[in-house]
Amino acid sequence: MSLAAPRALRVGLLGCGVVGSEVARRLVENTDELAERVGTRLELAGIAVRRTGRTRPQALDPGLFTTDAPGLVKRSDVVIEVIGGIEPARGLILTALEGGASVVTANKTLLAEDAGTLVDAATTAGCDLYFEAAVAAAVPILRPLRESLAGDRVLRVTGIVNGTTNFILDKMSTEGTGFATALQEAQAHGYAEADPTADVEGHDAAAKAAILASLAFHTRVVAGDVHREGIREVSTAVITSATQIGHVVKLLAVCERHDDVDPAAVSARVHPAMIPAGHPLASVRGAYNAVFVEAEAAGRLMFYGPGAGAAPTASAVLGDLVTVARHRLHGAGSRGSGHNDGRGDPAPPRLAILPIGAIVTRYHIALAVADRAGVLAVVAQEFARHDVSIETVRQEGRGTDAQLVVVTHRATDAALAATVAGLRRIDVVREVSSVVRVEAEDA
């Protein structure tokens, strides 16, 4: 007697842009291999697009395309959402979950704004919701945070999670390329968001920081909780200054757990920072991403790889697809199983978010100053007035080009902001040229 082969699972793909078409092509071309991995065939049931009739990848049957996304969702066992943005993505994901389908999404914007609604819907429906591609594309970081490190206490996550800005800063620092040219190159490579402001102003990294912090600290952090500064203020002078103190400039996403406040809190911030050239994150070049995790028992871990682009993102989406398909086949994660593997904490507590003013770090400050005796004393006095201790100070240039470059010890953001405001009022200070945080001193 032979057992009947399990039926094929119908996969509905929502969106056929850069990532969607790569997912579809690989799903069709690797169908036999994927069937072996899952234990049954994955049948591409349809691809929902805004308009049919556009030029599509040759490997795809034109009959797969439909403008009826809700209809496709209703006839799918697994829905892959790669439309991006809030609506209609959110409505379609909720329809999918309510109808008992598992969901794979790469939608960092939606997850960073409203993961709670999606997770609750998945929990109620008993369906999987996986989103590895939402942060750092092919780099497996979300599942390690959610599963491998679930028995540990994560203390800090520091990431380079935006390929476009890392590419730009790397070009500026190693080749002296101007900001605009470097951005154009990033766009030509397909790393940048449709509106590159999302990369340059740090919105993309802030969305990813919210997702990382939520999973790392088992709480809910949304994009609005993340302090955000982009890279527009990073001049060639700042990059040169960093080099002079043995550092490099990176756009960092820093997520921290604060057990020294009562009740315990978390924080998440995205901003340019100088990091020591010997830190593992300093070696992350081009559009690569890396996430450095510090955990109580595990110690320091680094996850590194291609964090942008169609194929790396498709890799993460298809990895999630295989996982949720296996769960459906074997009972876990399907409706009513009570399996919670793919959804994170069922009812995460909401830890307080520490405001940026309370965050403690070091700072690099460049000041254009008058070049005469006593100026240094006046400047040092202003730092002392706000209890900001100076680690090093050096003068660059003479006469009208005189600059003081100060690196501080650890101080709160609020104290530093008050110091900078005070410095701006001192007549021997012609200009506060730049203020950049200095991170990761101990790694």
- Sequence-distant (≥ 6) Cβ neighbours of residue 285 within 8 angstroms: 166, 170, 174
Q: From the CB of 143, what's the least distance to ligand HSE, in Å?
A: 17
Between 161 and 324, CB nearer to ligand HSE:
161
Q: Using an 8 Å Cβ cutoff, are 250 and 273 in contact?
A: yes
Between 192 and 221, CB nearer to ligand HSE:
192
d(CA 342, CA 319): 13
Between 34 and 253, CB nearer to ligand HSE:
253
Q: From the CB of 198, what's the least distance to ligand HSE, in Å?
A: 7
Q: From the CB of 172, what's the least distance to ligand HSE, in Å?
A: 16
**Identity of the residue numbered 166:** N
Between 133 and 356, CB nearer to ligand HSE:
133
**Distance set, CA 203 to CA 117, 159, 209 (Å):** 21, 14, 10
CA dihedral of residues 30, 34, 36, 38 (deg, nearest 10): -170
Q: Which of 74, 108, 171, 208 is catalytic?
A: 208
Q: From the CB of 199, what's the least distance to ligand HSE, in Å?
A: 5
End-to-end C-alpha distance for the chain, whole angstroms: 61
Alpha helices in 218-350 (DSSP H): 236-244, 310-330
Note the residues at the interface with ligand HSE (CB under 6 A).
Answer: 162-164, 191-193, 199, 204, 307-308
Q: How many CA atoms lie within 13 A of 101 on its CB side?
A: 27
- Sequence-distant (≥ 6) Cβ neighbours of residue 129 within 8 angstroms: 93, 97, 102, 103, 105, 118, 119, 121, 122, 342, 343
208 is annotated as an active-site residue: yes
CA-closest candidate to residue 257, choices 341, 353, 338: 353
Q: From the CB of 177, what's the least distance to ligand HSE, in Å?
A: 17
Between 45 and 207, CB nearer to ligand HSE:
207
Q: Which residues are catalytic?
A: 208
